[in-house]
Amino acid sequence: MDRVSSFDEPLLKLLGGATAKVMAEHLDLHTVGDLLHHYPRRYEERGKLTALADLPLDEHVTVLAQVADARILMFNNGRGKRLEVTLTDGSGRLQLVFFGHGVHKPHKELLPGRQAMFAGKVSVFNRKMQLAHPTYQLLDVSDADEATEAVDAFAGRLLPIYPACKQLDSWRIAKAVDAVLPSARDAVDPLPASLREGRGFTPLPEALLKVHRPQTKADVEDARARLKWDEAFVLQVALARRRYADTQLPAVARRPVADGLLDAFDAKLPFTLTEGQEKVSKEIFDDLATEHPMHRLLQGEVGSGKTMVALRAMLTVVDAGGQAAMLAPTEVLAQQHHRSITEMMGELAEGGMLGGSDRGTKVVLLTGSMGMAARRQALLDLVTGEAGIVIGTHALIEDKVQFHDLGLVVVDEQHRFGVEQRDALRSKGKQPPHLLVMTATPIPRTVAMTVFGDLETSVLDQLPAGRSPIASHVVPAKDKPHFLSRAWERVREEVENGHQAYVVCPRIGDDAEEAEGKGGKKTKAKKQAADEDPEKRPPLAVLEIADELRKGALAGLSVEVLHGRMHPDDKDDVMRRFAAGDVDVLVATTVIEVGVNVPNATAMVIMDADRFGVSQLHQLRGRVGRGSAPGLCLLVSEAHEASPARARLSAVAATLDGFELSRIDLEQRREGDVLGQAQSGVRSSLRMLTVIDDEEVIAAAREEAVAVVAADPELEHLPELRTVLAALLDKDREEYLDKG
């Protein structure tokens, strides 16, 4: 049998049909290798030997005792069987109990006078201490030393507890692992020998044995350290190879031009750029000037001025004779970007038009809902090169859209775009265009290195001058209804002081949405359940809340709604009037989450705030405090004070640091969601590594991976690493990383 095939052996061959079927269907384990990488979640300790007289209740104990008496009792009219065994050790007595099919073996083995070790959890039944279904080991040794050794080995053993399912409990998984454990010696070791020896790692076969059947806690630590490294290293090699391959692609270098569009734009800016914006712009300009495609992630705090940095990059490309495209996830956001960019550029955005600057260019908008004539003109401006900058939604990716010379693609809010879409837009350049991905959700460094490992990262963590602090408070609507009344008073006060407010709800509440839901009217029982438990009621809706506010707490103010199912013209109209100050309060869904910029809006009330994620709340909050007046964000919730939901809201209220919040978010959700969104199949390769806790491992593995790939891009001298990579990057994942 060669070294790979024993790991590829189907479990069906070794474990029998029923067990293998459950493992495949419920635990996604199909081969010997899968099962060997299904690591214990934790380990139970049998604990030190305890005298029967000193047994602690509800704890796991190990006792050494002699069987005094054993008898089978029938119950349930003879249909049920119970074996009761009485133990003694000279200090006291203890009862063991076994039920059902579990009585046969112990009934034959636990005969009066036999000595054995027993391990289990102490409980009380009929005022007597007992162990139910304990594990035990008979002692058949006459020599006292041998007996002592056997006792120590049994009592000190760590029992692995595996991630299990209803159909297959941990001890049956442990038995299955025993059956495949001999194959561990065939494990293909992905770490280059020099790296393994240099860092003093346990060999992989030994690590697998230690993680499944540790003798000591040190064994567990040893094994975990090694297995984490494997996961981090293999993933980082995959990403390092992507980055290396990108550096081999050709691209047109786009170098800044003196006295061009960028200089004219900088000259008319009414403020100076922050140090962070200057630094990040330089990183981007350096990348644009190279002859292979830039792949850069620009992440920053809400309101740190990412759009300004992206626009300056776009102007540089236009100066160098190319075109730049900005992709936004929604029409509202595309329109918002178009509006703010044309406002920032002024006459520079009216190239070729009357009153436009002779150094200017055209900035066009392209969305799915545009009228035919406007759309035709936009497409013409793109194909002739008349438009240097285009801003749009997915409509930009359609086959019909042709560019004159696409030099830069800016993607806003990466996590809402599939890699396929990024890829489709990229293929519209004569050569691969440069790529700048912006995300407004700050990502902890480790996640950025793992999830966006094929992108270089730039971080904007400084807020521009003139941004105001935002005070955030949790409003416990159920416990303290008067707090909610006060929240609406605060909104009214802000409006009376000449400002505006947002009210955000999780749901729209229109007929279309109801029809998409469960259909039909709610039954009386359901309604009653919802009244008793806020978790069970549907989330609050924009249309209902707007109606209540107009009639009640905010009567007399101008209250408008905004949600994703409105006609695009209506959405645009509401946003324009809100931006112009004609609307006092905007009741909206999360369509306002990103990019909406109304400096006069100072207050935000988020209804059912516990129904939103931490990062989303931070995004929403970033819509206020964008001018010179301080911002206020009120998080309204009916969640119980001690619930995790309330703890999450308190964390958001306590800090404005998006990086800190994204860390909290990740600790609460773990990385499954994060990696699942971004890395497709790669998540399933992380069994031991936790992205948030293993920062040093990931950083060190990345460094080693870069060195390995630089020295041997095709991994010709590392066949084992190639084999393991091939297993990790099956076809779908390979394509995923290719497009990344």
Q: Tens digits of per-residue pLDDT, 452-461?
A: 677 788 888 7
Higher-confidence residue of 304 and 67: namely: 67
Helix H or strand E encompassing 145: helix 144-156
Looking at residues 466-470, what average pLDDT do you find? Answer: 74
Top mean-pLDDT range of 61-70, 112-121, 135-144, 196-205? 196-205
Q: Compute the mean pLDDT over every residue in the chain, rounded to the nearest whole number.
A: 81
- The pLDDT assigned to 729 comes to 64
In tens, the pLDDT along 300-342 reads 876 778 889 999 999 999 999 999 999 888 887 888 889 889 9
Instruction: Give the rounded percent of residues in the chain with a pLDDT score beyond 70.
Output: 83
Using pLDDT thresholds of 50, 70 and 90, give the confidence band for residue 119. confident
Helix H or strand E encompassing 132: strand 128-132
- The pLDDT assigned to 523 comes to 45
Among 164-168, 467-471, 513-517, name the one with the lowest average pLDDT: 513-517
The closest alpha carbon to 636, from 606, 656, 681, 680, belongs to 606
Residue 525: pLDDT above 80? no
Looking at residues 470-494, what average pLDDT do you find? Answer: 90
664 neighbors 614 (Cβ within 8 angstroms): yes
Cα–Cα separations (whole angstroms), residue 77 to 74, 505, 627? 7, 60, 80
- The pLDDT assigned to 287 comes to 95
The closest alpha carbon to 253, from 213, 210, 292, 311, belongs to 292
In tens, the pLDDT along 214-271 reads 988 899 999 999 999 988 898 889 888 888 888 888 889 999 888 889 999 999 888 8
The DSSP call for residue 404 is S
Looking at residues 398-421, what average pLDDT do you find? Answer: 77
Looking at residues 41-53, what average pLDDT do you find? Answer: 71
Residue 91 phi, psi dihedral angles, 5° rounding: -100, -20
Looking at residues 655-660, what average pLDDT do you find? Answer: 79
- The amino acid sitting at 67 is V
Residue 147: pLDDT above 80? no
Using pLDDT thresholds of 50, 70 and 90, give the confidence band for residue 656. confident
Residue 728: pLDDT above 70? no
- The pLDDT assigned to 665 comes to 75
Residue 58: pLDDT above 90? no
3-class secondary structure, 692: coil
Looking at residues 401-428, what average pLDDT do you find? Answer: 76
- The pLDDT assigned to 316 comes to 95
Cα(567)–Cα(573) distance, rounded to whole angstroms?
10
Instruction: Give the rounded percent of residues in the chain with a pLDDT score beyond 90.
Output: 25
Cα–Cα separations (whole angstroms), residue 75 to 81, 83, 100, 236? 6, 11, 11, 61
Using pLDDT thresholds of 50, 70 and 90, give the confidence band for residue 1. very low
- The pLDDT assigned to 367 comes to 87
Cα–Cα separations (whole angstroms), residue 378 to 329, 365, 389, 441, 460? 19, 7, 11, 31, 33
Cα(134)–Cα(479) distance, rounded to whole angstroms?
47
Higher-confidence residue of 592 and 346: namely: 346
Residue 186: pLDDT above 70? yes
3-class secondary structure, 588: strand
- Predicted TM-score (pTM) of this structure: 0.68
Residue 738: pLDDT above 50? no
Residue 731: pLDDT above 50? no
- The amino acid sitting at 204 is L
Phi-psi region of 305 (alpha: psi -120 to 50; beta: other; left: phi over 0): left
- The pLDDT assigned to 671 comes to 47
Looking at residues 127-140, what average pLDDT do you find? Answer: 82
Using pLDDT thresholds of 50, 70 and 90, give the confidence band for residue 16. confident
In tens, the pLDDT along 417-440 reads 556 666 776 778 788 899 898 887
- The pLDDT assigned to 518 comes to 46
- The pLDDT assigned to 216 comes to 87
Which residues are CB-contacts of 90 (< 8 A; sequence separation ≥ 6)? none
In tens, the pLDDT along 359-374 reads 788 999 998 888 889 9
Using pLDDT thresholds of 50, 70 and 90, give the confidence band for residue 670. low
- The amino acid sitting at 229 is W
Residue 705: pLDDT above 80? yes
Using pLDDT thresholds of 50, 70 and 90, give the confidence band for residue 682. very low
Residue 533: pLDDT above 60? no
185 neighbors 3 (Cβ within 8 angstroms): no
- The pLDDT assigned to 57 comes to 80
Residue 672: pLDDT above 60? no
> What is the secondary structure of 210-234 as a DSSP string?
HHHS-SSHHHHHHHHHHHHHHHHHH
Measure the N-to-C terminal CA separation of the chain; round to a whole number of Å: 37
Using pLDDT thresholds of 50, 70 and 90, give the confidence band for residue 633. very high
**Helix, strand, coil proportions of the chain in percent (round to 5)?**
45, 20, 35
